[in-house]
């Protein structure tokens, strides 16, 4: 098709072409690509749980007991009892009445938003929200308003000017923004939600397992779980597994079981995955030092780069180094690769034009020694 050729050509010319890079090995934060080893700064295995013996054992046991597949949608015969165990644990973890497991965060956002928002409703969402949130809004077909990142005045002016035009309003934000590593202003958002009688959905994909005294997320850290209607998050990042969840009222979960198409029309997660998810929640409870160390090291890394004069945003384990031009970001990423760091360029359309960046995703495996060397190497690479 002519369009296909044209788009591929444009992508190549503008430095935004993407290609897959098959790895031959992944072990304890080290990956192998084309016979070379790299320290991985691109994974979301924040707590290092993907290789944790307890997760592996739990998976293996479920595999032996239930086989490899759930073999059907939850509404048919795919509804294993362990999935309910997992949902009860999530509800307690999030201090909510009930929870629902989705097959991935992408499917969760698609299924939740499209089931909740209908014609006549309006969605207000942060400009930096993840593609899965945007796709959920598009699928819902309702009107949507994008507010400038963490700009509460902008959000309020939109709510104010639209308040006579919608039946229901829903405010959506991530709690830790995936490309900038900063936090949402949850307290202010809850204030506006209450003032304008809106609902609120937060995406804790990058916060689950890391923030809050029990590792539940930023909503818990700020004492706002009971003020936020819907809290979603994933098992594929800090929890070292796969899948996603939504926590909310019992009524809301009953509704989604009946109305959320990405939940209804998809085979349930494999039992080995469900079992690993359960175990991951127990490890978050049992080993708080993992998240404490991660946040401490993230601060150390940010401070180190700032001391060298770089302007570093954020307050999480996601640390962006803004480069600007997409092609320059590629060249810098290549220089990092030559030094043994797998730190990839993030380019438009994932981030705004002229905000291409190297995004460092810190994990349990990045010790202070590794980070100290990286700070020096980064400074050298960026000065070239």
Ligand X SMILES: *Cc1c(COP(=O)(O)O)cnc(C)c1O
Which entry of 206, 241, 333, 356 is annotated as an active-site residue? 206
CB of 210: closest distance to ligand X in angstroms? Answer: 13
Which range of residues in 20-28, 191-199, 203-211, 290-298 is near ligand X by CB under 6 A? 203-211
Pairing of strands 341-342, 36-40: parallel
- 125 part of the interface to ligand X, by CB under 6 A: no
> How many residues bind to ligand X according to rule CB under 6 A?
14
Please tell me whether residue 346 adopts helix, strand or coil conformation.
strand
Binding residue for ligand X, selected from 236, 271, 304, 345, defined by CB under 6 A = 236
Query: How far, in whole angstroms, is CA 118 from its chain's centroid?
Result: 25
Span between the terminal Cα atoms of the chain, in Å: 41
Contact (CB, 8 A) for 210 and 47: yes
Binding residue for ligand X, selected from 234, 298, 333, 361, defined by CB under 6 A = 234
- 225 part of the interface to ligand X, by CB under 6 A: no
Residue 14 is a catalytic residue: no
Which entry of 178, 216, 241, 356 is annotated as an active-site residue? 178
Neighbours of 195 (CB within 10 A): 11
Please tell me whether residue 331 adopts helix, strand or coil conformation.
helix
Q: What residue has token string 């980064």?
A: 378
Distance, CA of 124 to CA of 117 (rounded, Å): 11
- 178 part of the interface to ligand X, by CB under 6 A: yes
Distance, CA of 53 to CA of 280 (rounded, Å): 11
* Length of the chain, in residues: 384
- 216 part of the interface to ligand X, by CB under 6 A: no
Distance, CA of 234 to CA of 104 (rounded, Å): 7
Binding residue for ligand X, selected from 105, 217, 270, 345, defined by CB under 6 A = 105
Could you give the angle at which helices 271-286 and 53-66 cross, rounded to 10 degrees?
A: 150
CA dihedral 92, 97, 103, 104 (to 10 degrees): -70
Which entry of 89, 193, 237, 366 is annotated as an active-site residue? 237
CB of 109: closest distance to ligand X in angstroms? Answer: 6
Binding residue for ligand X, selected from 70, 104, 173, 277, defined by CB under 6 A = 104
- 59 part of the interface to ligand X, by CB under 6 A: no
Please tell me whether residue 282 adopts helix, strand or coil conformation.
helix
- 361 part of the interface to ligand X, by CB under 6 A: no
Binding residue for ligand X, selected from 89, 94, 130, 347, defined by CB under 6 A = 130
Residue 144 is a catalytic residue: no
Distance, CA of 57 to CA of 164 (rounded, Å): 55
Binding residue for ligand X, selected from 41, 66, 106, 196, defined by CB under 6 A = 106
CB of 22: closest distance to ligand X in angstroms? Answer: 19
Residue 206 is a catalytic residue: yes
Distance, CA of 124 to CA of 198 (rounded, Å): 10
- 45 part of the interface to ligand X, by CB under 6 A: no
- 203 part of the interface to ligand X, by CB under 6 A: yes
- 317 part of the interface to ligand X, by CB under 6 A: no
- 183 part of the interface to ligand X, by CB under 6 A: no
Which range of residues in 47-55, 198-206, 218-226, 276-284 is near ligand X by CB under 6 A? 198-206
Q: Does residue 349 have a cis bond before it (omega within 30 degrees)? A: yes
Q: Which residues bind ligand X (CB under 6 A)?
A: 104-106, 109, 130, 132, 174, 178, 203, 205-206, 234, 236, 244
State the catalytic residues: 178, 206, 237
């Amino acid at each position: 098709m002519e369009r296909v050729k044209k788009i591929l050509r444009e992508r190549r010319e503008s430095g935004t072409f993407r290609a897959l890079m098959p790895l031959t090995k992944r072990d304890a934060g080290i990956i192998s690509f084309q016979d070379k080893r790299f320290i991985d700064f691109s994974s979301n295995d924040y707590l290092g749980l993907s290789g944790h013996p307890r997760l592996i054992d739990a998976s293996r046991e479920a595999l032996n007991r239930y086989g490899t597949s759930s073999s059907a949608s939850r509404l048919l015969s795919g509804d294993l009892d362990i999935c309910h165990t997992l949902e009860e644990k999530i509800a307690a973890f999030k201090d909510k009445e009930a929870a629902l497991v989705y097959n991935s965060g992408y499917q969760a956002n698609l299924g939740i938003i499209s089931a909740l928002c209908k014609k006549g409703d309006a969605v207000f969402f942060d400009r930096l929200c993840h593609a899965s949130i945007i796709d959920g809004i598009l699928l819902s077909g309702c009107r949507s308003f994008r507010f400038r990142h963490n700009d509460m005045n902008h959000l309020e002016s939109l709510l104010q000017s639209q308040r006579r035009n919608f039946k229901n309003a829903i405010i959506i934000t991530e709690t830790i923004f995936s490309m900038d590593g900063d936090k949402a202003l949850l307290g202010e958002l809850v204030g506006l939600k209450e003032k304008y009688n809106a609902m609120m959905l937060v995406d804790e994909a990058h916060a689950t397992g890391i923030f809050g005294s029990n590792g539940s997320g930023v909503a818990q850290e700020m004492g706002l779980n009971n003020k936020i209607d819907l809290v979603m998050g994933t098992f594929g990042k800090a929890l070292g597994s796969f899948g996603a969840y939504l926590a909310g009222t019992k009524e809301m979960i009953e509704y989604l079981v009946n109305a959320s198409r990405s939940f209804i029309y998809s085979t349930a997660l494999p039992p080995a995955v469900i079992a690993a998810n359960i175990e991951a929640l127990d490890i978050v409870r049992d080993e708080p030092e993992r998240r404490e160390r991660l946040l401490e090291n993230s601060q150390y890394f940010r401070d180190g780069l700032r001391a060298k004069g770089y302007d570093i945003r954020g307050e999480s384990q996601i640390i962006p180094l803004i480069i600007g031009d997409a092609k320059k970001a590629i060249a810098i990423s290549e220089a990092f690769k030559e030094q043994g760091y797998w730190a990839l360029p993030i380019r438009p359309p994932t981030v705004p034009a002229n905000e291409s960046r190297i995004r460092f995703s810190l994990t349990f495996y990045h010790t202070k020694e590794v980070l100290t060397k990286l700070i020096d190497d980064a400074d050298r690479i960026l000065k070239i």
